[in-house]
Amino acid sequence: MQSRLASPPTTSIADALRGDFPALAQRINGHPLVYFDNAATTQKPRAVLDAMRRHYEEDNANVHRGVHTLGNRATAAYEGARDRAAAFLNAPAREEIIFTRGTTESLNLVATAWGAAHLKPGDAIVLTEMEHHSNLVPWQLLARRTGAVLRFIPVLGDEGRLDLTGLDALLRGARLLAFTHISNALGTVNPVAELCERARAAGIVTVVDAAQSAGHMPLDVRAMGCDFLACSGHKACGPTGIGVLYGRRELLEAMPPYQGGGEMITRVTFEGAEYQAPPHKFEAGTPNIAGAVGLRAALDYLGQVGLPAIHAQIQDVTAYARERLSEFRGIRIFGPREGARGGLVSVVLPGVHALDLATLADQQGVAIRVGHHCTQPLHDRLGVPATARASFSFYNTRAEVDRFVTVLERVIRMLKGSP
Ligand code: C6P
Give me the pLDDT at residue 416, please.
80
Which class in CATH covers the domain with range 49-303?
alpha beta
* Cα 201 to ligand 1 centroid, rounded to whole Å: 29
Specify the 3-state DSSP secondary structure of 129.
coil
Dist CA 205 CA 377 (whole Å): 24
Domain with CATH 3.90.1150.10 in the chain: 11-32+306-416
Burial of 239 (0-12, 13-18, 19+ CB in 10 A): buried
As a whole number, the mean pLDDT across the chain is: 96
CATH code reported for the domain at 11-32+306-416: 3.90.1150.10
Of ligand 1's atoms, which has the minimum distance to the CA of residue 101?
Answer: 6
State which of 37, 137, 180, 232 you would mutate to test the pocket of ligand 1, scoring each by most atoms of that ligand within 8 A of its C-beta: 232
Mean pLDDT within 314-331: 97
232 Cβ below 6 A of ligand 1: yes
pLDDT-derived band at 139, boundaries 50, 70, 90: very high
Each residue's pLDDT tens digit, 56-73: 999 999 999 878 999 999
Measure the CA dihedral 12/13/15/21, to 10°: -160
Give, using CA atoms, the residue closest to atom 19 of ligand 1. 40
Indicate whether 386 pLDDT > 80.
Answer: yes
Rounded distance from Cα 258 to ligand 1 centre (Å): 21
CA of 226 to the centre of ligand 1 (A): 20
Give tens-digit pLDDT for 83-115: 999 999 999 999 999 999 999 999 999 999 999
Residue 235 CA: nearest ligand 1 atom is 7
CA torsion sign for 55, 74, 93, 197 is positive
Identify the three-state secondary structure at position 241.
Answer: coil
Q: Which atom of ligand 1 is nearest to the CA of 37?
A: 3
Query: SS3 for 181-235, per residue?
Result: CECCCCCCECCHHHHHHHHHHCCCEEEEECCCCECCECCCHHHHCCCEEEEEHHH
**Torsion of Cα atoms, 197 then 199 then 203 then 207, to 10°:** -100
The pLDDT of residue 419 is: 45
What is the location of CATH 3.40.640.10 in the chain? 49-303
pLDDT of residue 415: 85
Which atom of ligand 1 is least distant from the CA of 243? 7
Whole-number CA gyration radius for the chain:
22
Question: Does the C-beta of 37 come closer than 6 Å to ligand 1?
Answer: no
The closest residue, in CA terms, to atom 16 on ligand 1 is: 184
For the Cβ of 104 lying below 6 angstroms from any atom of ligand 1, the answer is yes
Across 385-409, average pLDDT: 97
CA of residue 390 to ligand 1 center, whole Å: 15
This prediction's pTM? 0.97
Tell me how far apart the alpha carbons of residues 274 and 201 are, in angstroms, rounded to a whole number: 34
**247 CA from centroid of ligand 1 (Å):** 20
Ligand 1 nearest-atom number relative to CA 183: 14
Angstrom distance (rounded) from CA 41 to CA 43: 7
- Which of 110, 88, 83, 82 is closest to 251 using CA atoms? 110
Ligand 1 close to Cβ of residue 40 (< 6 A): yes
- pLDDT given at position 3: 60
Catalytically active residues are: 374
- Asked whether 213 lines ligand 1 (CB < 6 A), one says no
Residue 340: pLDDT over 90: no
User: Of all atoms in ligand 1, which is nearest to the CA of residue 102?
Assistant: 6
Q: Is the pLDDT of residue 322 over 50?
A: yes
Digit-coded pLDDT (tens) for 8-33: 666 789 999 999 999 999 999 999 99
Output the pLDDT for position 4: 65
pLDDT attached to residue 149 = 98
Question: Cα separations (Å) of 236 from 74, 107, 181?
Answer: 23, 18, 15
Which residue from 184, 235, 237, 378 has its CB within 8 A of the most atoms of ligand 1, so it is best to mutate? 184
Distance linking the first and last C-alpha atoms of the chain: 18
152 bridge partner residues: 127
Q: What is the pLDDT of residues 216-273, one digit of tens each?
A: 999 999 999 999 999 999 999 999 999 999 999 999 999 999 999 999 999 999 999 9
Is the Cβ atom of 211 under 6 angstroms away from ligand 1? yes
Exposure on the CB side of residue 299, measured as CA atoms within 13 A: 26
Dihedral angle computed from the Cα positions of residues 353, 356, 358 and 362, in that order, rounded to the nearest 10 degrees = -160
Q: Is the CB of 209 under 6 A from ligand 1?
A: yes
- Return the best residue to mutate from 129, 134, 135 for the ligand 1 pocket (most ligand atoms within 8 A of CB): 134
Residues 6 or more apart whose CB falls under 8 angstroms from that of 321 comprise 345, 390, 392, 401, 404
Question: According to the model, what pLDDT value does residue 339 have?
Answer: 87
328, pLDDT greater than 90? yes
